[in-house]
């Protein structure tokens, strides 16, 4: 097989990465009890795990990768600081993974993607109140509404 033909088979995204529409009817009701339960579990711990990604060239020189990884990790930490999050753990780097071009969704053969994960804590947490229209709140487990009814719910 010609090398160009062999490489072109891998240039588009695999079908498993393309998300299909669900086979069931979408649910437009908000389960306030489940949301409150989830937030109550996280109430005592202000720390959150955040993940970032970066792409680096596939090279066999470890010094090149280390310099790229260090620069990208520092950029991730700086962007989290601008959002008000402080790093509370060591960063962990996972990878390499297949790297795709974000715009064209094409596999980049000369690049690898790495994921950076760390535990961050918000500097000054603010209590937020989210008001949900009463018409879209689930009152019964078997209750369903259509998208039109959800959009027309009184606020």
- Which residues face 12 on adjacent strands? 106
Across all residues in the chain, what is the average pLDDT?
Answer: 78
pLDDT at residue 5 tops 80: no
Reported pTM: 0.59
Number of folded domains that form the chain? 1
Residue 3: inside a domain: no
What is the pLDDT at residue 122?
Answer: 86
Q: How far, in Å, CA of 72 to CA of 91, rounded?
A: 11
In which band, very low, low, confident or very high, does the pLDDT at 3 lie, cut at 50, 70 and 90? very low
pLDDT digits (tens, 9 = 90+) for 41-93: 777 778 889 999 999 988 768 888 889 899 999 999 999 999 989 999 999 99
Residue 76: inside a domain: yes
CB 128 within 8 A of CB 9: no
pLDDT at residue 125 tops 60: yes
Residue 141: inside a domain: yes
Closest CA to 29 of 130, 128, 141, 129: 141
Q: Which helix (H) or strand (E) holds 129?
A: none
Residue 96: inside a domain: yes
Residue 121: inside a domain: yes
In which band, very low, low, confident or very high, does the pLDDT at 154 lie, cut at 50, 70 and 90? low
29, 100, 120, 130, 148 from 36: Cα distances, Å: 15, 37, 22, 11, 26
Residue 74's domain comprises 24-35+46-151
Residue 128: inside a domain: yes
Greatest Cα pair distance in the chain: 63
Residue 147: inside a domain: yes
- DSSP sequence for 96-118: EEEEE-TTT-BEEEEEEEEEEEE
DSSP letter, residue 58: -
């Amino acid at each position: 097989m010609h090398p160009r033909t062999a490489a072109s088979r891998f240039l588009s995204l695999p079908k498993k990465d393309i998300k299909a529409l669900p086979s069931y009817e979408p649910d437009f009701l908000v389960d306030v009890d489940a949301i409150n339960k989830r937030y109550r579990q996280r109430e005592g711990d202000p720390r959150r795990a955040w993940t970032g990604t970066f792409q680096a060239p596939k090279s066999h020189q470890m010094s090149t990768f280390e310099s790229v990884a260090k620069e990208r990790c520092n950029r991730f930490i700086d962007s989290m600081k601008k959002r008000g999050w402080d790093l509370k753990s060591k960063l962990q780097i996972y990878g390499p993974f297949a790297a795709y071009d974000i715009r064209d969704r094409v596999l980049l053969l000369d690049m690898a993607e790495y994921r950076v994960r760390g535990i961050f804590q918000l500097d000054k947490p603010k209590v937020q109140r989210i008001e949900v229209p009463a018409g879209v709140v689930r009152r019964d487990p078997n209750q369903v509404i259509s998208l039109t009814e959800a959009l027309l719910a009184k606020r």
